[in-house]
Amino acid sequence: MDDKARLVDEAAPAATVVVPSALVGFAGGRSHLRVALDSPEESESGAPRLPLSAVLDRLAREVPALERRIRDERGTVRGHVNIYIDGVDIRELGGIGTVVVPGATVHIIAAVSGG
């Protein structure tokens, strides 16, 4: 299976969600997922954009097993999961409401513990 599986057409405005190796099994073996950003909401430049919550909602529809590892039943990001947009922690931005623009890379980082 292609590691860079697409959830959208290659030419569509999209962001790339990078899944950590610990969660790839819940994403059908895929580590890079393109998520469409087509939206009635556009930036001043006319580019489509969506809040991170909507990007995760779209991802959840395509890969529900992965969703359960990222957010809880209320839609809150789980405590052991960190999310970065273009290298910046969403807690330093607008949290789950942070706007994602075409070409952005969303990294999902799941804390792993062991002994």
For the chain, the domains span: 14-114
Q: What is the pLDDT of residues 5-56, one digit of tens each?
A: 445 556 678 999 999 999 999 999 999 999 988 765 554 556 678 899 999 9
More confident call, 111 vs 27: 27
Burial class (CB in 10 A: 0-12, 13-18, 19+), 80: exposed
- Joined together, the tokens standing for residue 49 give 């954009």
Supply 80's token pair.
């052991």
Cα–Cα distance for residue pair 90/97, rounded to 1 Å = 9
Q: What is the CATH number of domain 14-114?
A: 3.10.20.30
